[in-house]
Amino acid sequence: MLARSPVARPSGPWLDTGRIPVPHWEKGKLVRKHDHNVHIIRLKRFFMSGPVDVLVFIEHQAGKIIRASREALAAGQRLAKDTGGRVAAVILGESAEGIPTAELAQARLDEILQVESPALREYTADGFVLALNKVVRERQAGYVLFGHTYQARDFAPRLAATLERCLVSDCLGYRWQDERCVLTRQMFQGKLNADVELLGDPPYLISFQAGSFREDSVERDDGHARVSRVPLNLPAESIRTRPGERFREARQTVDLSQAEIIVAAGRGIKAPENVALVKSLAEALGGEMGASRPVCDNGWLPMDRQIGSSGQTVAPRLYVALGISGAIQHQVGMKGSHTIVAINKDREAPIFEIASYGIVGDLFQIVPPLTEEIKKAKGSS
């Protein structure tokens, strides 16, 4: 799945010993010209007013920026370096009081766009598409990045259609090659990775899978980012939907993508009564329980605990795999974890190929004393 783009993305403004490339927009396209006489005026306009090379959408819940957006921010900073351009973040809400701008301002950004409207008090696809459509067009963004969350999956395709552009979703990452962005995304339930190049003119809309970038790689800048308030008047009749209950708050449902620690059970736990072993370790570590597909198919744990290509995609700081062989369908959903600890009696299990630490042995002999030692360590701390 490879499409060559005829459009070479300019690498942005920089100073040289001779002439100065000056990016600016002409007829909706970002172009570069060399001009000795006007470069000072044009560079000032480029930096101080509108166009940005990379615009990162920031999703927030309960006054905090979610992890997927921090990961998208890391991607945006890296992409801005590759293009040699500017990176800005856009965050939506009813007013300044409900928007976590202070947290966002700690990141190295050229600008923070704080979009405010009473219609944005709660998430609706109508409101977010109207607001972002205006911002993306006015700022002439080259790339618009999202975390691949439930919310982004809901409104980003419609935003792309409104902008008459495509959305490349659920990407694993990208590489900068020959002055263009080549995206990587999975196909056929993770069995193949495809290179995707971007056709046509910007903006290019991209969402990144959880764990594609490390949230702790976001560069800090001690609150130097310029905050620009963008008040919007969105008529009430333009919002045709009413927000319902958040997915992660639904009864008997857990959003594992937000968990920092996950202890996952595989077929190796052998019987449903052994789920208690997994639960004890998860509780001792202060984490959540997850499972491979066979465990959920057998009814030992509910389907909302399933991790993999047909379940949730997670990227916790610690992922403990108990009796999980590590088939590709499972790896797709958890290989972005920062630290992976695998316990399996089969030393040839594929899970060991991606594990940070591996223990070959009987989990029924390893997990109980491990759980007790963790409880002792926590009790003494």
User: Looking at 222, 244, 266, which one is the last position of a domain?
Assistant: 244
Q: Where residue 357 sits, what CATH number does that domain have?
A: 3.40.50.1220
The confidence score (pLDDT) of residue 112 equals 93
pTM of the model: 0.68
**What average pLDDT does range 41-68 have in this prediction?**
68
In a domain, 190, yes or no: yes
**Domain annotation covers residue 10:** no
Residue whose structure tokens are 């029924």: 364
| Alpha-carbon distances of 79 from 85, 279, 368, rounded to whole Å | 9, 40, 46
pLDDT at 52: 65
In this structure, are 127 and 236 located in the same domain?
Answer: yes
Contact at 8 Å (CB) between 290 and 307? yes
Gap between the Cα atoms of 344 and 361, Å rounded: 6
Q: How many structural domains does the chain have?
A: 2
* 189 and 102 part of one domain: yes
Picking from 221, 244, 267, the residue at the C-terminal end of a domain is: 244
Q: Are residues 182 and 164 in the same domain?
A: yes
Q: Which residues contact 177 (CB under 8 A, 6 or more apart)?
A: none
Tell me: do 81 and 53 sit in the same domain.
yes
Residue 343 belongs to some domain of the structure: yes
When pLDDT is cut at 50, 70 and 90, the band that residue 179 belongs to is: confident
**Residues 221, 336 within the same domain:** no
Q: For residue 64, give its domain range.
A: 21-244
- Judge if 192 and 265 occupy the same domain: no
Last residue of a domain, one of 244, 275, 296: 244
Residues 231 and 286 occupy one common structural domain: no
Question: In terms of domains, do 288 and 367 share one?
Answer: yes
Q: Given this model, what pLDDT does residue 8 score?
A: 35
pLDDT at 347: 93
In degrees and rounded to multiples of 5, residue 77 shows phi and psi of -65, -40
Paired strand residues for 185: 171, 194
- Domain of 47, CATH number, reads 3.40.50.620
Answer yes or no: is 25 within a domain. Answer: yes
Beta pairing partners, 218:
none
Q: pLDDT tier at 30 (50, 70, 90 boundaries)? A: very low
